[in-house]
Chain A
Amino acid sequence: MFTFNKIPKAFLLFVSLLSLNSAHAETESCAYLSYNGADDWYPFFFREAQHTKGIASDAVNAAAAESGLSLAAKNSMPWKRQLLALKFGQLDIIAGATKTYQTEKHFVFSIPVSQAHLSVFTRRDSQLSINKIDDLKELRGVKLLGTSFTQALDEFVLEKLVVDEAVSLASVFKMLQYGRVDYAFSYREAGARYIQKLGLNDQIENQPLNLSSDSIHVMVAKNNHCMGEIQQLFDQIKHLKETDKLDAIIQRYSMQASIMQDDAQ
């Protein structure tokens, strides 16, 4: 007769069977390399119609094709989870990442595949003209919570500017749109795409001021078990750069971005 006491044991057995079935679905071989990237980081990595796109995604795919390596795109997942998957071998490549103190401890990086340009966005009706960072004094701005710039810029922002923080890029641009702040810090291309998505092209504009540039890399774990293949991929990215093929990829997205910029202006 089934008694209550047997439930926990039956439950644990069931779970054990499940875990046997699902654990380590990833192959230990290097027949293919899995890759992922930030969900919506135009123009470096984004998804359209279930396909990965962007400069970093295209660079990785082009380099893999040239090297004869097979790639498999993973499904969208939160950024922190991607870092963990990379660290623990469930993911081989993150296409599109900047170097930080923490990531440099655990991961290795390709040569830069592109640059992200930190820029300033304002409302058109404010008719502000921001040509130098001092023009932001006396104004109120917003940035994504936790965003860090160059050390000099960080110090200037802390000491001279009044800057709110928001939890998402959507909040950043809504605060600007609704007049809570006078300007917003964002990467230029990501911001342009975002205001296009929100249909704010006629309300928000991108100022010409370029505050800083961050290098965008392809990132893999230091302890990746397919380091031979990874090295081939990195070499091939270098080759793409030397043969101007990487520039062609960047150019393709720059053209799209400039169309958006024009829309935004």
Chain B
Amino acid sequence: MKYNSLIAVILIPFAATVHHSYASYQTLIDSKDIETSSSKNLVKRFNSPASVSVLTAAQIKDQGVTSIAEALRLVPGVIVREQVNGQFDVSIRGFENAPRNEFLSENNSRSVLLMIDERPIFDYFQGGVFWETLPISIDDVDKIEVVRGAVSSMYGPNAALGVIHIKTKRPDSDKTETKITASLGDYGYQKAHVGVSGKNSLFAWRASGVSLTKDRYETTYYNVGANEYQSLQELKPSRGLAAYPNPERAQSNKAMSLSVYNEPERLVSYDITAYYQQSEVQKAYISSLSTPITTNKASSHALNIKLNAFDWNVRLSRHKGKQETIGFDELEYDYVTTQSLVEHEFKGAQWFIRPGIRYDQMQYDSELVQGQRTLHNAAFYTRSEFNSTKDFKLTASASLDQYSFPQEKYLSYELGFAQKIGHSSLARAGIQRANRSSFMYNSFFDLDLQVQLDPNSPIIDRYIFKGDKDVGLVTFNTLELGWREQLSFYNTLDVEVFFTRLDGYSNSLESPASNVVNNIRTTEKFLEKVPTKAEQIGATLDWHYLSDQWDFNAFVTFQQTQVIDQIESIKKPIAYENENSKASPQWYGGANMSWQLGSAWKLASNVYFMGRNETRLLQSQNSYKQGFRALANLTLLYDVYAHTKATFGIKNLSNNQDSQYFYTEKIKPSVFMQITAGF
């Protein structure tokens, strides 16, 4: 795809010569001031009892963001660490590697639910989000709404620390519109994106496709044993990277989608989207090897059907795909997830209640879980709101989930209130409970292997690894207090204080090797419930200041996480001790500014910073410490024509170029330019 960008650039002069007006209707409310994710209902963000932030396509474009995960650096309360060029680790408020895990693959946005147009995107093998496998590009995003706090009661398990809801573009123009974006940058950055939309008398439609490649910032890999970065030749990996044909390529993604929809205001409205994606990335995945980076390949297709009629809301989605970790056949798996819900809204003068049922089925086929395995859960849930006065809102959600494994019912809930005080203040509070779902690896991991470690010894080591499908689920309880202050119509402060407690934790524990019987020495490692708990207390401050020519937004989160009864080693007998977790930075945040320079130019910059943090894995000798880091991105935008924009950006200017994530790679400054043309 070397010539993707070139082709798009050639097309742009033709595109730029055609201008026409777009239908627009004046609204007094900015898109960034409204959201639906905190309540499944259209609300002004200021009035929401939840901790919610909104990022619009315009803000994303202004800040020169090149990927969805990177865009989350513009949102308060989100920790975003780049592993390899374009590949990120994302968490909300923290809690990754707290309590400490054994493998990096367990630190993978496990307690955050990502949704695209209400469809959960989650990997149920080990739990988590594979950001490289999203079937859309940043250019398809209309809005990203981030709710911090437990919202499983509305969206299902795994929305335990928050939900990231991506809404894609749904144009409603009678004319066929095409938008082409071409980007070029150093470190092999090339992207071509095309979005075409139209409308006929029956339906509107939008098709989009993207091809993106990025190279690594460096070609060396960290050798954990030697404690230094080495070339692949020096590293001599026995597996994984040894089989990878292109160690310089950081990622290669292709995705396309087609949406068919009608106007959402209709009595019967629908929105049907088909997706396809394939990706190949290098990222931090397996930590027990000579280097934490592996190469992961994925391909998948999905269908999402949404139907709204007479206050009924129905959604059905199916996602089928394959995940591979190159060089590790046992980590290859095929999956099919089917998710469905039906809900109905009853509405009165001061209230609404929206009960629903949800059924999810996750089917995975992998050597590690002994073939094809299925998890499913069914839930009854409801969401309701009550406005006793214009200034007071009470919200309540509850979801009773029956899981197939463990065969237990779990209740998640949210209770919140918001009280407007005077014309410009809002006090809010919420209490929430949520849980993770069970995962394939936890439930069905079953491996029995024999290894002769010493060729000169007759003794064979037999290892028996087992998950436990009946082990309980990790549960989060959160208490939030918040205050919003409209200091003036151009000056807003949002403060939230949160306390979260994690319990119901389990871990694989290793029994001492048995006595040798028939020349076989057996070691067992079983998943077991442990008394480990974690508590986090923190606060986020978010300040917006708007001027006539520039916007400014600064935010910071402070958090402290204490792990109670942290396992020191997985080898029995188990020793526990309390520790202050440093896995997430104790303070992190950012500042975003955009500045209109005359009618055609705009300058934008954003700074993202985080304090010291340290990732320590169980069973690993190496911990990874990183010091204070601030990184800045600068973007200059120029309106070439009415619908043709040029962007020039500098990224990753930083005081600290060390790896941001567990011995991955050094993150280096880079430049890019981009042209977007619409016609």
Contact = CB atoms under 8 A, between A and B. Distances in A.
A84 B548 contact: yes
A162 B347 contact: yes
B390 interface: yes
A145 B34 contact: yes
A12 B636 CA distance: 10
Given A25-B598, A168-B25, A87 B490 contact: yes
Contacts of B424: 101-102
A162 B265 contact: no
A168 B634 contact: no
Interface stretch (A14-22, A124-132, A208-216, A234-242): A14-22
Interface secondary structure of B, over-half rule: loop
A245 interface: no
* Cβ-closest 4 pairs across A and B: A22-B598, A174-B265, A39-B26, A88-B548
B456 interface: no
Contacts of B669: 4, 7-8
A90 interface: yes
B603 A158 contact: no
B671 A7 contact: yes
Contacts of A164: 347
Query: In the complex, which of the residues A8, A11, A168 has the most CB atoms of chain B within 10 Å of its own CB atom?
Result: A11
Interface in B18-53: 24-30, 34, 42, 44
B655 interface: no
The bracket for how many chain B residues form the interface is: 35 or more
A255 B488 CA distance: 39
Given A90-B549, A158-B350, A162-B347, A174 B489 contact: no
Contacts of B449: none
Nearest to A87: B490
Nearest to B600: A22
A18 B350 contact: no
Interface secondary structure of A, over-half rule: helix
Nearest to B186: A4
Interface in A1-51: 4, 7-8, 11-12, 14-15, 18-19, 21-23, 25, 38-41
Contacts of B636: 11, 14-15
Interface stretch (A59-67, A75-83, A113-121, A224-232): A75-83
Interface string B520-556: 0000000000000000000000000011110000000
Nearest to B422: A101
A40 B350 contact: no
Contact of B489 (A7, A18, A106): A106
B348 interface: yes
Nearest to A160: B349
B650 interface: yes
Contacts of B601: 18, 22
B174 interface: no
A202 interface: no
A244 interface: no
B621 interface: no
Contacts of B579: none
A94 to B, nearest CB: 12
A178 B263 contact: yes
Contacts of B273: none
Contact of A84 (B29, B390, B490, B650): B490
Nearest to A18: B597
A32 to B, nearest CB: 18
A248 interface: no
